[in-house]
């Protein structure tokens, strides 16, 4: 029998020995490379006729040869979808479950466990994690950017822990903004509609020598949804005939500078500041002293304010050795009815890539992070103020064989956190690929590390049967370990087409959730309190597949779509009682089994764009959410080069519908049918 | 069950590890040149070389060492790659300038013309426009050389080859070096 230590020791050996072994075994293989135009210019014409070519762009070549389930939402895809927010744009990706319990709270997940917290996804903006370690998840409501300045959104389904570290369990989402060289000139966008009451952004980009820069400001006001059906629920906070209070107002400002400091050095500095206000309706315990009072409903305001600054340096030290360094500072303040938090993050990330070393590309990296949290505790919600640290080291090695046809990638990340010590996340992948097809397999271990709330929370949540329910993070939570196995295929039957299929199997050990200890001998129970512990409650398994295609039969027509199937089984372990069975059911019920997306984009004549996207989400939440279709359409007209006018309809198939149920941070609202118009003026 | 997780995972890792070893050793036997070029990069360098190996008639004042104006139509990728090539030393030595313009007078004033697939339907008209002028016409549109174009770039079995319509070249008064001609397929020889 292997102990955890043995597994770690052998995994470490694997990670450390891999580059050495492949180096000794593959000395005769020519270096993998791609000729630059400069290389080709210096060659004799007699040699040029023997050079092999690829019809793929560098980006497409990288995509086809990736041994994982990746997907890229391009800037064009976002614009043409009519999305008004980053979560809306994410619907375009296969395998992504995007629902919203009301107009400002989104639940986004990949391959299961998609609740408000979405603790298994690592989300970043330009490499800066926006995943908060307070509760393990993302405040999507506070993540905004002028959508026209987003270059692409890269989505990795499946574990990315070997490179990105913990919490990249079921996927990584990286939102990448445009280089400021690509956004030169003035751009003004404005619009409004039925629910998106008014929005606008202004961006100005210019340059001084080799330094490009951009500054921007944005403002958005989105109204609330509609009251949920269901008899008497939430009547005190959802007066008849009015919109629900879940509005959202966003103000955000930022800048980006890109400096080509010589032929081998690139420096980027960017920063943003945001002020977000949202409305909320929920329940709380206004009085938490005993004897217990019933919970009451309230309407209130939530405030999210933050700022960040990121410095990045990329330098080619010598040909084929690239250094990447990134430093960032991030601060956010959260103010809600019950929770007031200020968090600061200081982070340093350093990586060296050795390319074409004996047929291998080797990356070594390290990361240090310091998180300082200050809590202003309320009688309802208490969490210690503290400083936590994170340190990690990773190695990733890619070996190319047989003319680049076959590649093996091994990686390992070792990470130390303040709560559970060292965590090890190994990954092994292999791919056989050509310009027009690819087959890949992978096996990875990833980890979801315990968060701040699981270490020190006291949350007087609600009342139940005359007792006070208190969520307690007693610090017993261990790291949740997840093993994932994937197999995937890519095919380009004709140029301008792509078909992808991925099948996966996931095994969760120690899923972190809540467990109510109602044992009569528990001292809390004796004192009239039901303790709801945040700890490892379940083991589980998930399997399924994702299929997607894209086809441009003619320049004026794009067809795309995806289908996702997910099957999950959870077992309550180590405790099995009348309470844990509910956790099993709620985890299983968080995602639908079936989802699909079909999209069509048409350019009938120059200057006109028409797009329609149909999304289907099957029933979930044990039938509380019926399956629903969502149809979004966009018509855009560019009468002259510098002006674009567009009309967008969203959720056009029904007057309103419920996309998810109440969450712990707010009541659900029905999502109304929406229309808006937008005008963009660009001056170069 | 937990141990089963670990066993199966460790087994997977070791299987892949063995695969690495086997393939690493095997790679010493199957080593091949593993360097590719982007098809548009290579096309652009071909175009540059076609110009380099061409002499224009003296009366036009164009010969090696003087200015050569290349027009790129119907292919933005090739245009931008050619523009960056034009800034290199090798291109400056032959005085290469790269443009893209749409007017007939501008087109017939060029010394070389690349017609990309975006002009697939319009290329016979473009060829008529420059007929009789010393303009080197190049394209990657299939059938270009057979239909009166001078040099056609072809994609064949992951390599780029080219076809020269010698009759069209000679008629225009241009001279293409034998060093280039021997590497391509020739159609329209005088005796044919």
* Whether pLDDT at A19 is above 60: no
B11 in A contact zone (CB under 8 Å):
no
φ/ψ (deg, to 5) at B173: 85, 5
Q: Pick from A24, A30, A430: which is nearest to B34 by CB?
A: A30
Describe the crossing of helices A4-25 and B2-29 by its angle, rounded to 10 degrees.
10
Q: Provide the pLDDT for residue A413.
A: 94
CB A571 within 8 A of CB A507: no
A407 in B contact zone (CB under 8 Å):
no
Burial A301-332 (b: 16+ CB within 10 A, else e): ebebbbbbbbbbbbebeeeeebebebebebbb
A290 in B contact zone (CB under 8 Å):
no
Two tokens at A84?
């008004």
Q: Provide the pLDDT for residue A28.
A: 31
SS (H, E, C) A12-71: HHHHHHHHHHHHHHCCCCCCCEEECHHHHHCCCHHHHCCCEEECCCHHHHHHHCCCCEEE
Q: Which of A281-290, A325-334, A374-383, A414-423 has the lowest mean pLDDT?
A: A281-290
A263 in B contact zone (CB under 8 Å):
no
Q: Provide the pLDDT for residue A21.
A: 41
* Whether pLDDT at A236 is above 90: no
Q: Provide the pLDDT for residue B66.
A: 62
Measure in Å the smallest separation between the Cα of A482 and chain B Cα atoms.
10
Chosen for mutation from A53, A55, A409 (greatest number of chain B CBs closer than 10 Å) is A53
* Whether pLDDT at A26 is above 60: no
Two tokens at A523?
């001292």
Measure in Å the smallest separation between the Cα of A158 and chain B Cα atoms.
16
| Domain boundaries of chain A, sorted by first residue | 4-281+288-683
SS (H, E, C) chain B: CHHHHHHHHHHHHHHHHHHHHHHHHHHHHCCCCCEEEEHHHHHHHHHHHHHHCEECCHHHCCCCCCCEEEEEECCHHHHHHHHHHHCCHHHHHCCEEEECCCCHHHHHCCCEEEECHHHCCCHHHHHHHHCCCCCEEEECCCCCCCCCCCEEEEEECCEEEEEEEHHHHHHHCCEECHHHHCCCEEECCCCC
Q: Pick from A32, A34, A410: which is nearest to B37 by CB?
A: A34
Higher-confidence position of A496 and A123: A123
Chosen for mutation from B22, B23, B74, B83 (greatest number of chain A CBs closer than 10 Å) is B23
Residues of B within 8 A of A25 (CB-CB) are 20-21, 24-25, 27-28
Asked if B36 lies within 8 A of A54 by C-beta distance, the reply is: yes
Q: Pick from B25, B53, B85: which is nearest to A25 by CB?
A: B25
Asked if B9 lies within 8 A of A33 by C-beta distance, the reply is: no
Measure in Å the smallest separation between the Cα of B75 and chain A Cα atoms.
13
Encode pLDDT of B6-55 as tens digits.
565 566 566 656 655 665 565 555 555 567 888 899 999 999 999 999 99
Q: How many helices (H) and strands (E) does chain A have?
A: 9, 36
Do strands A656-657 and A671-672 pair parallel, antiparallel, or not at all (unpaired)?
Answer: antiparallel
- B 15-44 residues inside an 8 A Cβ radius of A: 16-17, 19-21, 23-28, 30-39, 41-42, 44
- Say which CATH superfamily domain B39-187 falls into: Response regulator (3.40.50.2300)
- B 60-119 residues inside an 8 A Cβ radius of A: 81, 84-85, 88, 90
Do strands A106-110 and A150-157 pair parallel, antiparallel, or not at all (unpaired)?
Answer: unpaired
A484: closest chain B residue by CA: B9
Measure in Å the smallest separation between the Cα of A261 and chain B Cα atoms.
19
**What is the residue whose two structure tokens read 């990315």?**
A160
CB A266 within 8 A of CB A322: no
Q: Provide the pLDDT for residue A285.
A: 93
Q: Which of A113-127, A207-221, B55-69 has the lowest mean pLDDT?
A: B55-69
* Whether pLDDT at A559 is above 70: yes
Q: Provide the pLDDT for residue A495.
A: 83
A555: closest chain B residue by CA: B118
Q: Which helix (H) or strand (E) holds A372?
A: strand A360-375
CB A507 within 8 A of CB B8: no
Mean pLDDT of A175-179: 96
A398: closest chain B residue by CA: B20
* Whole-number Cα distances in Å, A63 to A115, A176, A569, A649: 30, 16, 32, 32
The architecture that CATH gives domain A4-281+288-683 is Beta Barrel (2.40)
Q: How confident is the model at residue A29 (pLDDT cuts 50, 70, 90)?
A: very low
Residues of B within 8 A of A480 (CB-CB) are none
Residues of A within 8 A of B28 (CB-CB) are 25-29
Asked if A35 lies within 8 A of B2 by C-beta distance, the reply is: no
* Whether pLDDT at B99 is above 70: yes
CB A300 within 8 A of CB A315: no
Cα–Cα distance measured from residue A234 to residue A661, given in angstroms and rounded to the nearest whole number: 13
Encode pLDDT of A409-447 as tens digits.
999 999 999 999 999 999 999 999 988 899 999 999 999
* Whole-number Cα distances in Å, A467 to A288, A460, A464: 11, 11, 5
Asked if B42 lies within 8 A of A399 by C-beta distance, the reply is: no
Cα–Cα distance measured from residue B31 to residue A323, given in angstroms and rounded to the nearest whole number: 29
Asked if A48 lies within 8 A of B88 by C-beta distance, the reply is: no
Two tokens at A378?
């309320």
B181 in A contact zone (CB under 8 Å):
no
Q: Provide the pLDDT for residue A635.
A: 98
Q: Pick from B8, B49, B84: which is nearest to A37 by CB?
A: B84
Cα–Cα distance measured from residue A229 to residue A626, given in angstroms and rounded to the nearest whole number: 13
Q: Pick from A28, A408, A483: which is nearest to B5 by CB?
A: A483
Cα–Cα distance measured from residue A662 to residue A101, given in angstroms and rounded to the nearest whole number: 6
A221: left (phi over 0), alpha (psi -120 to 50) or beta: beta
Q: Provide the pLDDT for residue A1.
A: 41
Q: Provide the pLDDT for residue A147.
A: 97
CB pairs < 8 Å spanning A and B = 177
Cα Rg, chain A, nearest whole Å: 26
DSSP state of A142: G
Angle, vertex CA A655, rays to CA A652 and CA A657, nearest 5:
95
A505 in B contact zone (CB under 8 Å):
no
Q: Provide the pLDDT for residue A70.
A: 93
Encode pLDDT of A71-121 as tens digits.
999 999 999 999 999 999 999 999 999 999 999 999 999 999 998 888 999
Q: How confident is the model at residue A8 (pLDDT cuts 50, 70, 90)?
A: very low
Instruction: For residue A140, give every residue at least 6 positions away whose Cβ sits within 8 Å of its Cβ, in sequence order, or none.
Output: A86, A87, A105, A106, A108
Mean pLDDT of B106-131: 88
Cα–Cα distance measured from residue A645 to residue A652, given in angstroms and rounded to the nearest whole number: 20
Q: How confident is the model at residue A11 (pLDDT cuts 50, 70, 90)?
A: very low
Asked if B36 lies within 8 A of A55 by C-beta distance, the reply is: no
Cα–Cα distance measured from residue B83 to residue B78, given in angstroms and rounded to the nearest whole number: 8
Residues of A within 8 A of B81 (CB-CB) are 37
Angle, vertex CA A521, rays to CA A518 and CA A523, nearest 5:
85
Asked if A48 lies within 8 A of B45 by C-beta distance, the reply is: yes
Residues of B within 8 A of A30 (CB-CB) are 31-35
A111: left (phi over 0), alpha (psi -120 to 50) or beta: left
Q: Provide the pLDDT for residue B61.
A: 53
Asked if B13 lies within 8 A of A54 by C-beta distance, the reply is: no
Share above pLDDT 70 across residues of chain A, in percent, rounded to a whole number: 94
Q: How confident is the model at residue A15 (pLDDT cuts 50, 70, 90)?
A: very low
A443 in B contact zone (CB under 8 Å):
yes
Q: Provide the pLDDT for residue A12.
A: 44
Strand partners, A259: A211, A267
Asked if B179 lies within 8 A of A45 by C-beta distance, the reply is: yes
B189 in A contact zone (CB under 8 Å):
no
Mean pLDDT of B166-188: 91
Q: Provide the pLDDT for residue A344.
A: 98
* Whether pLDDT at B64 is above 70: no
Residues of A within 8 A of B32 (CB-CB) are 30, 402-403
Mean pLDDT of A473-492: 96
Sign of the torsion angle spanned by Cα atoms A38, A39, A44, A46: negative
Q: Provide the pLDDT for residue A105.
A: 94
């Amino acid at each position: 029998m292997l102990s955890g230590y043995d597994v770690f020791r052998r995994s470490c050996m694997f990670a450390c020995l891999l580059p050495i072994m492949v180096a000794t075994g593959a000395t005769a293989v020519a270096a993998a490379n791609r000729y630059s135009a400069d290389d080709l210019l210096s060659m004799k014409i007699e040699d040029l006729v023997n050079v092999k070519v690829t019809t793929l762009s560098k980006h497409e070549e990288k995509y086809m040869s990736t041994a994982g389930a990746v997907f890229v939402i391009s800037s064009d895809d976002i614009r043409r979808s009519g999305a008004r927010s980053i979560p809306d744009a994410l619907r375009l990706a296969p395998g992504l479950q995007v629902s919203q319990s009301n107009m400002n709270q989104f639940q986004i997940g990949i391959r299961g466990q998609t609740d408000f917290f979405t603790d298994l996804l690592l989300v970043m903006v330009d490499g800066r994690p926006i995943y908060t370690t307070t509760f393990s998840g993302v405040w999507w409501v506070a993540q905004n950017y002028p959508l026209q300045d987003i270059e692409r959104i890269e989505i990795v389904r499946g574990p990315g822990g070997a490179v990105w570290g913990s919490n990249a369990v079921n996927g990584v989402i990286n939102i990448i903004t445009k280089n400021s060289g690509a956004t030169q000139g003035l751009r003004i966008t404005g619009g409004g509609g039925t629910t998106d009451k008014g929005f606008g952004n202004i961006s100005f980009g210019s340059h001084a020598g080799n330094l490009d820069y951009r500054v921007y400001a944005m403002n958005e006001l989105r109204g609330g949804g509609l009251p949920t059906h269901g008899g008497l629920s939430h009547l005190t906070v959802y007066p008849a005939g009015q919109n629900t209070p879940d509005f959202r107002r966003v103000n955000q400002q930022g800048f980006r500078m890109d400096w080509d400091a010589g032929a081998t050095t690139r420096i980027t500095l960017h920063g943003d500041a945001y002020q977000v206000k949202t409305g909320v309706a929920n329940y709380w315990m206004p009085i938490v002293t005993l004897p217990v009072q019933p919970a009451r409903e309230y309407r209130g305001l939530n405030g999210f304010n933050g700022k960040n600054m990121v410095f990045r340096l990329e330098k080619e030290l010598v040909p084929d050795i690239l250094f990447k360094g990134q430093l960032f500072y991030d601060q956010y303040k959260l103010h809600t009815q019950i929770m007031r938090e200020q968090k600061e993050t200081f982070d340093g990330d350093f990586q060296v890539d050795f390319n074409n070393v004996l047929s291998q590309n080797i990356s070594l990296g390290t990361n240090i992070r310091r998180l300082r949290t200050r809590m202003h505790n309320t009688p309802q919600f208490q969490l210690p103020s503290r400083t936590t640290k994170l340190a990690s080291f990773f190695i990733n090695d890619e070996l190319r064989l047989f003319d680049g046809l076959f590649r093996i990638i091994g990686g390992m990340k070792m990470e130390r956190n303040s709560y559970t010590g060292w965590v090890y996340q190994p990954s092994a992948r292999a791919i056989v690929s050509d310009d027009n097809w690819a087959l890949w397999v992978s096996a990875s271990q990833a980890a979801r590390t315990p968060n701040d709330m699981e270490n020190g929370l006291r949350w007087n949540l609600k009342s139940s049967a005359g007792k006070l329910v208190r969520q307690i993070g007693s610090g017993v939570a261990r790291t949740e370990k997840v093993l994932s196995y994937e197999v995937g295929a890519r095919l380009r039957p004709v140029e301008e087409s792509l078909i992808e299929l991925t099948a996966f199997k996931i095994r969760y050990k120690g899923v972190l959730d809540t467990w109510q200890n109602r044992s009569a001998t528990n001292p809390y129970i004796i004192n009239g309190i039901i303790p709801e512990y945040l700890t490892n409650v379940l083991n589980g398994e998930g399997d399924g597949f994702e299929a997607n295609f894209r086809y441009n039969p003619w320049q004026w027509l794009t067809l795309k779509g995806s289908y996702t199937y997910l099957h999950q089984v959870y077992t309550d372990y180590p405790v099995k009682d009348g309470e844990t069975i509910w956790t099993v059911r709620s985890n299983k019920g968080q995602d639908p089994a079936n989802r699909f997306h079909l999209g069509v984009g048409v350019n009938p004549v120059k200057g006109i764009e028409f797009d329609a996207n149909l999304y289907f989400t099957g029933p979930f939440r044990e039938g509380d959410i019926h399956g629903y279709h969502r149809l979004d359409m966009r018509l855009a007209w560019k009468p002259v080069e510098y002006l674009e006018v567009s009309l967008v309809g969203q959720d056009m198939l029904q007057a309103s519908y419920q996309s998810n149920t109440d969450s712990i941070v707010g009541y659900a609202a029905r999502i109304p049918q929406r229309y808006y118009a937008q005008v963009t003026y660009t001056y170069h | 069950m937990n141990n089963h997780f670990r066993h199966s995972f460790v087994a997977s890792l070791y299987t892949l590890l063995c695969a690495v070893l086997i393939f690493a050793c095997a790679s010493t036997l199957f080593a091949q040149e593993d360097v590719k070029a982007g098809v548009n990069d290579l096309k652009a360098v071909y175009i540059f070389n076609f110009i380099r190996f061409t002499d224009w008639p003296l009366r036009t004042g164009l010969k090696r060492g003087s200015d050569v104006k290349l027009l790129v139509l119907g292919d933005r990728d090739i245009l931008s790659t050619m523009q960056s090539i034009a800034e290199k030393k090798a291109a400056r030595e032959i005085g290469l300038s790269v443009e893209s313009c749409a007017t007939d007078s501008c087109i017939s004033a060029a010394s070389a013309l690349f017609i990309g697939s975006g002009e697939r339907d319009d290329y016979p008209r473009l060829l008529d426009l420059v007929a009789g002028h010393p303009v080197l016409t190049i394209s990657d549109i299939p059938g270009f050389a057979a239909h009166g174009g001078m040099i056609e770039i072809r994609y064949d079995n992951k390599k780029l080859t080219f076809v020269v319509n010698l009759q069209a070249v000679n008629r225009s008064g241009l001279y293409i070096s034998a060093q280039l001609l021997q590497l391509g397929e020739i159609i329209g020889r005088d005796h044919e």
